[in-house]
Amino acid sequence: MPHQSPALRSLDCVDPNFLRPPFRAISRRKVLGFLSSFLAFSPLAKANTAKPVLIGIDGEFGLANSTSAQAIELGTRIAMHEINQAGGVLGGRPLDVVTRDHRSIPARGIKNIKELAGMPDLVAVLGGRFSPVIIEQLPALKIAKLPFMAVWSAADGIVDNGSKPNYVFRLSLRDSLAMPYMLKSARQRGLNEVGLLLTNTSWGRSNQVAVQKYMAAHRSPVIVDTVWYNWQEPTLVDRYLKLLAAGAKAIVLVANDDEAALLVREVSALPPDKRIPIISHWGVTGGRFFSEAGPALKDVDFSVIQTFSFFNAGKAELQRFMNAAAELGIKRIEDIESPVGVAHAYDAVHILAKAVQLAKSTDRSAVRRALERIPAHQGLVRRYAPAFTASRHEAFDSQQLLMARYRADGVLVPA
């Protein structure tokens, strides 16, 4: 059997969902060909037998209609290509990715963490979209002393977990930033009576706590009522109408793509005078919300919080990213699904590579300490100055936040 590079061996084992959108326009053979070309002209080409340094992704690859884990993998691979083209890490070792699928099931996620922790030269894991899975994984991460980067999940308790030392870092939104921003968006639009529609999970409860903290210091907007729903509820319109009857002029929604699409379809079927604006958390952008909502979306005033838009990215940083992304068939920013997952993972891998260099080894404790000491880094999402410190494991603040809407073609753009 001819020799294959670590990158190509990894792709042979990749979850088949990796070739779902945003890779819908290219075949698996072309992806292999592109990666072969990367290696042929890389400074690592003569030493591509060097033992790779591994970064894991544990995400919801097998969940129906989900695009979040695939977006995280895309951002990871683009960053790894750039780093490997520049010589890799630790004197010429390439970065490579290992993926695991938890399908949004906490028990699978815990099993995956234990499996990933047992891999030599795996320095860190990037987590997927679902906060409830990651919260259940925290004890396993603590035991394994495995650096973990939350690049999508937003529940405050993921980072505020009480562990010392803390092996969890976040390059993503957190609920105590998201909820105040969404409430301020309602107030700025003159929507001063708000109803909360929250998922009955640790993610929903994290947002409830964030609302309570915000309202303790602000009089507006007024929260008229809070209603909860459970996963896979067959209808949400009864909860929506309850909030409407309580006087809500807008709904702040904490949901993922399938529940949000169901709600939009049901609201669209109501008389126009009963359709009020929906201001949504960003879980909806991790799946095929636009296609699931269908034509109903044009009848509903729907906006969603984001930390990043490729349409607002710095010119030089965007050009560098797109040069590498083009090698995987991504020609336009409109081709990128779940953009925050791509951008966050891209920046996270560059920062992790710098931590490995600073640690001068793949020792996980050394990498964890190095993540707290990395100098300023100019990323795609922002300039990190620095990304993390010993007392702050959150890379973002309110300056990154914006509201976005879906265009008629399904592309998410700044509102």
What are the residue ranges in the chain where pLDDT is below 50? 1-47
Is 0.95 surpassed by the pTM of this model? no
14-24 pLDDT per residue, tens? 444 444 444 44
pLDDT of residue 20: 40
Which sequence spans correspond to the domains of the chain?
6-173+312-399, 176-306
CA distances from 346 to 115, 300, 379 (A): 24, 33, 8
With beta carbons less than 8 A apart as the criterion, state whether 137 and 113 touch.
yes
Contacts of 400 (CB under 8 A, 6+ apart): 173, 307, 308, 381, 382
| Superfamily grouping for domain 6-173+312-399 | Response regulator (3.40.50.2300)
- Rounded Cα–Cα distance for residues 171 and 382 (Å): 11
DSSP state string for 129-148: S-HHHHHHHHHHHHHHT--E
Q: Which pLDDT belongs to residue 327?
A: 87
> For residue 50, what are its two tokens?
């060097």
- Cβ proximity of 70 and 22 under 8 Å: yes
The reply to whether 176-306 shares the fold of 6-173+312-399 is yes
Q: Write the pLDDT tens digit of every residue in 184-231.
A: 999 999 999 999 999 999 999 999 999 999 999 999 999 999 999 998
The per-residue pLDDT for 48 is: 55
Provide the β-strand partners of residue 148. Answer: 125, 168
The topology under which CATH files domain 176-306 is: Rossmann fold (3.40.50)
